[in-house]
Amino acid sequence: MTKIIELDEIKRTLPSIDLLRIMEEGFAAYSNGRTVVPPVGELVFENPPGEAHIKYGYIKEDDYYVVKIASGFYENPKLGLPSSQGLMLLFCQKSGALKAILLDNGHLTDIRTAAAGTVAAKYLAPEEVTAIGVLGAGIQARQQVLHLQSVTDCRKVFVWTRSDKGAENYLTWFADSDFDITFVSDTAEVAARCNLIVTATPSKEPLLHAADIFPGTHITAVGSDTADKVELDLEILRMADLVVSDSLVQSETRGEVFRAVEAGVLHRKDLLELGAIITRGEKARRDDTQITVADLTGVAVQDIQIAKAVFENSQSEESLDA
């Protein structure tokens, strides 16, 4: 029988899952050639602006395969709707039987993306994070900061956003936390104050510029997940000591790396894949003066890992209740 897992149950299950571990295992499997992950399916809409991504695949010799549909419609908040929507379908890899429908409304995509940002920070951020910078104030801009708690003690956060309502919501989200949130009016001020920066916007023009980036800064870019989005000045990738992609294949058609290679400021031979770094088991940065960039476009193996973990934890809870 197919199990339907609603959003409330998904949220109850997530705290019992070691997200950092399962994301590391998924990225390592991906970079070591133990997955089958076809190209991303994509629909881009103009009126209203939005996109839908279809990501799917499986880990070899695993029990399941996953098909995920997630969308982002950025004018939804005006309608009283969240910008993210979607679901995940979990199938048996041996029979093709549909084992579970995860009605997550895009929540699992948000969580697995934030967990990937945490993995990137674990291996690339400076040993001492003096302040966390965030571009954007939406769901991902919040989740990235929340999940970074597992790899850094830093609670000082500088946020840039164009939206007054977004800033108000951001403060509400963190009202009962120990984070010290400061809003700034210029992205250059974020760069000046922070040595770990997360960009989480749907921008189609550069927001961070090379002239503002100091030695020792790590940047995790998560917003540029289609060919027309960009958050980083190309010169940032030219001057970076280390540029890491979650998927070298996907970076050929989307993300910050895609644009940098296309413009000739970055060569593919100089890139590393996140899973390859994880497999080594040690931080990739040599010292705290290096500038590092992680370009995360989102890989289906993340969806496989989180959908499987939610389903298996849900099954375990049912067994305990029986």
Tens digits of residue pLDDT in 76-92:
888 888 888 999 999 99
Architecture of domain 9-108+301-321: 2-Layer Sandwich (3.30)
Q: pLDDT tens digits for 159-215?
A: 999 988 889 999 999 999 999 999 999 999 999 999 999 999 999 999 999 999 999
Query: Where does the pLDDT of residue 321 fall: very low under 50, low under 70, confident under 90, or very high at 90 and above?
Result: low
Query: DSSP letters along 35-76, please?
Result: EE-PPPEEEEEETTEEEEEEEEEEETT-SEEEEEEEEEETTG
Q: Quick one: angle between helices 19-31 and 107-124, nearest 10?
A: 80
- According to DSSP, the residues that pair with 46 across neighbouring strands are 49
Give the Cα separation of 150 and 153 in Å (integer). Answer: 8
**Model confidence, pTM:** 0.94
* pLDDT above 90 coverage of the chain, percent: 89
Cβ atoms within 10 A of the Cβ of 172, count? Answer: 9
Buried residues in 117-156 as b, exposed as e (16+ CB within 10 A): bbbbbbbbbbeebebbbbbbbbbbbbbbbebbeebbebbe
Treating both helix axes as pointing N-terminal to C-terminal, what angle do 107-124 and 139-147 enclose, rounded to 10 degrees? 50
SS3 82: coil
* Residue 95, pLDDT above cutoff 60: yes
Q: Where are the alpha helices (DSSP H) in the chain?
A: 7-13, 19-31, 107-124, 139-147, 164-173, 187-193, 234-239, 255-262, 274-280, 300-321
Please report, in angstroms and rounded to a whole number, the separation of the first and last CA atoms in the chain: 17
Nearby residues of 8 by Cβ (< 8 Å), 6 or more positions away: none
Q: Is the pLDDT of residue 99 over 80?
A: yes
- The CATH fold assigned to 114-300 is Rossmann fold (3.40.50)
Residue 111 clears pLDDT 70, i.e. is over it = yes
**Are both 9-108+301-321 and 114-300 of the same fold?**
no
Q: What would the pLDDT profile of 37-60 be if each residue is shown by its tens digit?
A: 999 999 999 999 999 999 999 999
Beta bridge partners of 184: 160
Mean pLDDT (the chain) is: 95
In angstroms, rounded to a whole number, what is the distance separating the alpha carbons of residues 321 and 17?
19
Q: Where are the domains of the chain?
A: 9-108+301-321, 114-300
**Confidence band of 319 (pLDDT split at 50, 70, 90):** low
Beta carbons within 10 angstroms of residue 10's beta carbon: 23
Express each pLDDT in 220-244 by its tens digit: 999 998 888 999 999 999 999 999 9
